[in-house]
């Protein structure tokens, strides 16, 4: 399968999902885009999104504080739509000990200290994806994402979604929309894992720097995940959770995001050919 990357100076991990097989159809060209955050987008990137993709909507899955500190640029013709999948207080609920919650929240200004706590208590493990998919904020964000896609007219231009690195919150949004469109699991995994190709220089630099220091393998892996890498077992966990609780990803979309068979048919008609 071909991954259609997009060159957007200042933006990481950008790609167009066109051409992915969706049953006996395929995703249309230039309608569904995913990327890392846009806050450092350079003028050529903004021009490409405006003039080549006629970008209509930007779904921003980042936390409120991140959006306020590093807002998306204004792209003429495109509406910026904040859909936070989680806030830091949600993240802290993964800590069962209230004292640890206070300790973690007090260390957020110190990235190294926050990472150590997150690593120690597994906050950066696969269960984080469960929080995104099953937490109230995540369910609302992904519900709104689908509802806007249903109302959107792709003949007028593209939509783009992102989080910080464009791999976890945005990655799960991609899993959901691809599943809804009838894309097979192997293709979804290939798209998800392509982030490691997009972010290969960062990942390799981390391996070189921290691997040479004798950092434990599992800690290095967590650091890579926190810095732009993805791992198959995180997506495995997401499928396991949804299949165990709902039966399938599309059943989750029906049960929690409120779509019915007619909605799924509309999405396929709009975004595949």
The proportion of the chain whose per-residue pLDDT surpasses 70, expressed as a percent, equals 94
Question: How does DSSP assign 187-219, residue by residue?
Answer: HHHHHHHTHHHHTHHHHHHHHHHHHTTT--HHH
Q: What is the mean pLDDT of the chain?
A: 92
Structure confidence at residue 101 (pLDDT): 62
Question: How does DSSP assign 213-249, residue by residue?
Answer: TT--HHHHHHHHHHTT---HHHHHHHHHHHHHHHSSH
Q: 4-271 adopts what CATH topology?
A: 3.90.190
Structure confidence at residue 24 (pLDDT): 95
Write down the pTM of the prediction.
Answer: 0.93
Average pLDDT over residues 237-255: 98
- The pLDDT-based confidence of 216 (bands split at 50, 70, 90) is confident
Burial environment of residue 191 by CB neighbours within 10 A (0 to 12, 13 to 18, 19 or more): buried
Structure confidence at residue 107 (pLDDT): 59
Q: Residues 135, 32: contact at Cβ < 8 Å?
A: no
Whole-Å CA distances, 266 to 146, 150, 154, 183, 271: 11, 7, 12, 15, 9
Assign residue 54 a region: left if phi > 0, alpha if psi is -120 to 50, beta otherwise?
left
Q: Residues 179, 249: contact at Cβ < 8 Å?
A: yes
Check residues 125 and 8 and name the one with the higher pLDDT: 8
Average pLDDT over residues 190-199: 97
Domain boundaries, the chain: 4-271
Structure confidence at residue 98 (pLDDT): 62
Structure confidence at residue 95 (pLDDT): 67
CB count within 10 Å of CB 22 equals 22
Model pLDDT for residues 73-122, shown as the tens digit of each residue: 999 999 999 999 999 888 777 766 666 666 666 656 667 777 777 777 77
* Selection from 44-53, 82-91, 195-204 with the highest mean pLDDT: 44-53
Structure confidence at residue 91 (pLDDT): 73
């Amino acid at each position: 399968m071909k991954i259609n990357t997009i060159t957007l100076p200042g933006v990481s991990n950008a790609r167009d999902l066109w051409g992915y097989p969706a049953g006996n159809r395929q995703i249309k060209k230039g309608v569904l885009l995913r990327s890392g955050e846009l806050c450092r987008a350079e003028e050529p990137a903004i021009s490409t999104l405006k003039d080549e993709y006629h970008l209509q909507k930007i779904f921003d899955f980042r936390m409120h504080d991140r959006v306020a500190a590093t807002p998306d640029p204004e792209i003429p013709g495109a509406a910026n739509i904040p859909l936070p999948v989680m806030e830091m207080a949600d993240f802290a609920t993964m800590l069962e000990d209230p004292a640890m919650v206070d300790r973690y929240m007090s260390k957020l200004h110190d990235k190294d200290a926050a990472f150590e706590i997150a690593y120690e208590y597994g906050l950066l493990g696969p269960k984080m994806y469960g929080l995104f998919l099953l937490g109230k904020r995540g369910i609302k964000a992904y519900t709104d994402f689908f509802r806007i896609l249903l109302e959107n007219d792709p003949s007028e231009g593209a939509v783009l979604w992102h989080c910080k690195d464009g791999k976890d919150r945005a990655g799960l949004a991609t899993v959901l929309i691809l599943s809804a469109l009838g894309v097979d699991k192997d293709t979804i995994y290939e798209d998800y894992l392509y982030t490691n190709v997009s972010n290969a220089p960062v990942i390799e630099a981390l391996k070189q720097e921290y691997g040479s220091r004798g950092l434990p393998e599992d800690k290095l892996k967590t650091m890579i995940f926190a810095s732009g890498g993805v791992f198959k077992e995180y997506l495995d966990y997401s499928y396991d959770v949804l299949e165990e609780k709902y039966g399938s990803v599309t059943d989750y979309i029906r049960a929690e995001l409120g779509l019915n068979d007619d909605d799924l048919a509309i999405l396929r008609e709009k975004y595949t050919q």
